[in-house]
Structure 1
Amino acid sequence: MGRSGAPDRKESTHVTFEDRQVNLKVDEFLGNAKKWREEFEQLRAIILDCALTEELKWGVPCYTFDAKNVVLMHGFKEYCALLFIKGALLKDAKGILITQTENVQAGRQIRFTSASEITKLKAVLKSYIREAIEVEKAGLKVPHKKTEDFAIAEEFKNKLDDIPALKTAFESLTPGRQRAYLLHFSAPKQSKTRESRIEKCMQQILDGKGLDDR
């Protein structure tokens, strides 16, 4: 303890503030926030009132229950958001959850463009957070699509048919690496762009590496 009776910051990354555990790394994050600071502060207070543990993960505030990620908050150019890690399992009684992209299977966002929006939704946000905590208490899992359920770009299918070694190498990859490639190849709208992506990744697949492996 310091001379003033306040917790020594060198002893822990957490301090008690108004009966809530706040993380000093999140304090630093908020102090450096150039945008959405007021919104983040409001969201932080709401989340901590739900008795979650505050941490900093992936460079953003993340809130956990029994060491399991429940919700995090992050900012973008046009909005800031709460991201529910298993949002797909929430009932979404108010119809406010958003799927960030069509390929996201588990996470769901609630987006904000002003502090006043957060104030109006305070009670609703708490109910969603508590429901997310109950999901973790129950040990529920989001059912993920299997690799064979993902679309295969026609250009990549042709390559696999034409080059047996490529097909063998691709099938030897872990399911997660396979899905990453399938999403990467099928994303572009133009065939020329899809073909270009496939050509650039072929050697990496033959080397047994995933899309992000180096």
Structure 2
Amino acid sequence: MEKPAKVWDKTGQWAEAIDLVKSIVVKTELVEMTKWGAPIFTVGGKNVAGIGGFKEHFAIWFWNGVFLKDEAGKLVNANEGVTKGLRQLRYKNMEEIRSDEKLIYDYLVEAIENEKAGLSIKPEKKQTIIPELIQKALDSDSELKIAFEKFTPFKQREFIEYVDSAKREETKVQRLEKISLMIRDGIGLNDKYRK
């Protein structure tokens, strides 16, 4: 028996909005998928837009919405200072969505064109800063250093954060001793949770 598709409608009040936006999307070349429990619309396998209902509003988000012209001035950054490319259209009721049907279609078409043109914000590479305590341990033990460098930057940062987040120096030293064994054995800090 096929499971019903998930719908991101936190309060159950947005079924009509979801249907309306999907009826606009089918007029484009976007392909619907479900990711993170939400309807996501893609072109060439790339995320272009998504929809979801929340307690206070219904949202249509555009992954690279920062590149949309937004002449209507309706796009918002859901998480100012954190979100770089994603922008949202937010609606409080069905009347607002119905009155913006053409605008929604136009934004979807422009978002598709932008995706095909390769417009996107590339994630910034995080600089790994190694605290003095860990750096001293790596400098004094070449085997440990070689083993540490075999880990991805993400896993290196997990080790660093684990040691550095301790408040007391004594705890930092204990944590460093613990992770040193893991590093030598090629075991990431959170590997046991990733299986």
TM-score, structure 2 as length reference: 0.64
Q: Helix, strand or coil for the counterpart of 1:147?
A: coil
In the other structure, the counterpart of 2:49 is 71
The aligned runs of 1:33-72 (5 Å cut-off) are: 34-72=12-50
State the Cα distance separating 1:133 from its structure 2 match. Answer: 0.2
Q: Which amino acid aligns with 1:81?
A: A
For 1:109 and 1:91, locate their aligned partners in 2 and report how far apart those are by CA, in whole Å: 13
The one-character-per-residue Cα deviations of 1:42-63 (angstroms, maximum 9, x if unpaired) are: 2212222223222222221111
Is the 8 Å Cα contact of residues 57 and 91 (structure 2) preserved in structure 1? yes
Residue 71 of structure 1 and its aligned partner are, at CA, apart by 0.8
Whether 2:102 is the aligned partner of 1:120: answer no
What is the deviation of 1:82?
1.2
The question of 1:103 aligning with 2:82 is answered yes
The one-letter code of the counterpart of 2:110 is: E
C-alpha spacing 1:67/1:75, structure 2 compared with 1 (3 Å): same
Which runs of no fewer than 5 residues in structure 1 stay unpaired?
1-9, 14-23, 186-193
Deviations 1:27-75 (A, max 9, x none): x748997231122122212222223222222221111223322111122
Aligned counterparts of 2:80 and 2:101: Cα–Cα separation in 1: 26
Corresponding letter in the other structure for 1:59: G
Change (3 A) 1:60 1:161: same
Alignment of 1:74-85 (within 5 A): 74-85=52-63
Distance 1:54 1:168, change over 3 A: same
Report the Cα offset of residue 130 of structure 1. Answer: 0.9
Any stretches of 5+ residues in structure 2 without a counterpart? none
Secondary structure of the residue that 2:47 maps to in structure 1? strand
Instruction: Mark the CA change 1:80 to 1:140 in structure 2 (over 3 Å): closer, same or farther.
Output: same
Q: Tell me the secondary structure at the aligned position of residue 122 of structure 2.
A: coil
- The number of aligned residues is 176
Structure with higher Rg: it is 2
